[in-house]
Amino acid sequence: QKEVEQNSGPLSVPEGAIASLNCTYSDRGSQSFFWYRQYSGKSPELIMSIYSNGDKEDGRFTAQLNKASQYVSLLIRDSQPSDSATYLCASYNQGGKLIFGQGTELSVKP
Amino acid sequence: EAGVVQSPRYKIIEKKQPVAFWCNPISGHNTLYWYLQNLGQGPELLIRYENEEAVDDSQLPKDRFSAERLKGVDSTLKIQPAELGDSAVYLCASSPNWGDGEQYFGPGTRLTVT
């Protein structure tokens, strides 16, 4: 079992819809969770961090964390073609290493 | 504020040749990371530096890979000799301190070994 798992996609949504990206993790001791966006040929860019159970909103982005279920999600409201990218979920394991999922490719169709 | 700087951006070498990558982290960031990213995968940590000390190099293939961070600022990652399987993107990242969570990535070096 991978420490951080994501559906690789691709996930395709129409412009203006809500995109929902999901991630599960295996290390119950993990406390910090991150979503990175990576455009093709570019480096990962941090877009959200979440440390407590519940929701955290930043503009069109909402991160959700459920530690009991070991589940993290990212919602993108009013999806735009410019949101088309690979989204990487990451968390620190108890050894202090940032572990990334394999990423979910999102395609927003005009 | 300048971001993480890496060079070169692209490198093509023949197998068995040496190659080196350079990284300059964000000013004031004590922790520096080197990651390897294969196509369709997330980054995987190769080595982490706290100032000039390598504190986690468990994933670094030490028979051919080496790294240094002299004076606790910029860093060099070297491969000698390169193998075909080393073709990947090598990312450098930095953070103010370890465990602060947010890591900031440089543009990466895309290595192709022929």
**Interface membership of A40 toward B (CB under 8 Å):** no
**pLDDT greater than 60 at residue A63:** yes
Return the bridge partners of B24, or none: B5
Rounded-to-integer distance, Cα B112 and Cα A60, Å = 37
Rounded-to-integer distance, Cα B2 and Cα B108, Å = 15
**Interface membership of A29 toward B (CB under 8 Å):** no
Per-residue pLDDT of B8-40, as tens digits, reads: 999 999 999 999 999 999 999 999 999 999 999
**pLDDT greater than 80 at residue A68:** yes
What end-to-end distance do the CA atoms of chain B give, in Å? 37
Give the H/E segment covering residue B77: strand B75-79
Neighbours of B74 (CB within 10 A): 15
**Interface membership of A101 toward B (CB under 8 Å):** yes
What is the pLDDT averaged over residues A57-83?
A: 97
Residue B98 confidence class, pLDDT cut points 50, 70, 90? confident
What end-to-end distance do the CA atoms of chain A give, in Å? 36
Query: CA A82 → CA A16, A22, A49, B82, distances in Å?
Result: 12, 20, 21, 37
Rounded-to-integer distance, Cα A37 and Cα A47, Å = 7
Looking at the complex, report in whole angstroms how far the Cα of residue A71 sits from the nearest Cα belonging to chain B. 18
**pLDDT greater than 80 at residue A55:** yes
**Interface membership of A7 toward B (CB under 8 Å):** no
Q: Is A89 exposed, middle or buried (0-12, 13-18, 19+ CB in 10 A)?
A: buried
**Coil, strand or helix: which one is B57?**
coil
B47: tokens are 């080595």
Neighbours of A33 (CB within 10 A): 26
Nearest CA in chain B to A33: B101
Rounded-to-integer distance, Cα A67 and Cα A90, Å = 14
Q: Which of A45, A46, A103 sits opposite B42 (nearest CB)?
A: A103
Rounded-to-integer distance, Cα B1 and Cα B96, Å = 14
Contacts of A88 in chain B (CB under 8 A): 42-43
Task: Please give the pLDDT value at position B1.
Answer: 66
Say how many CB pairs under 8 Å bridge A and B. Answer: 45
Per-residue pLDDT of B37-93, as tens digits, reads: 999 999 999 999 999 999 889 899 999 999 999 888 999 999 999 999 999 999 999
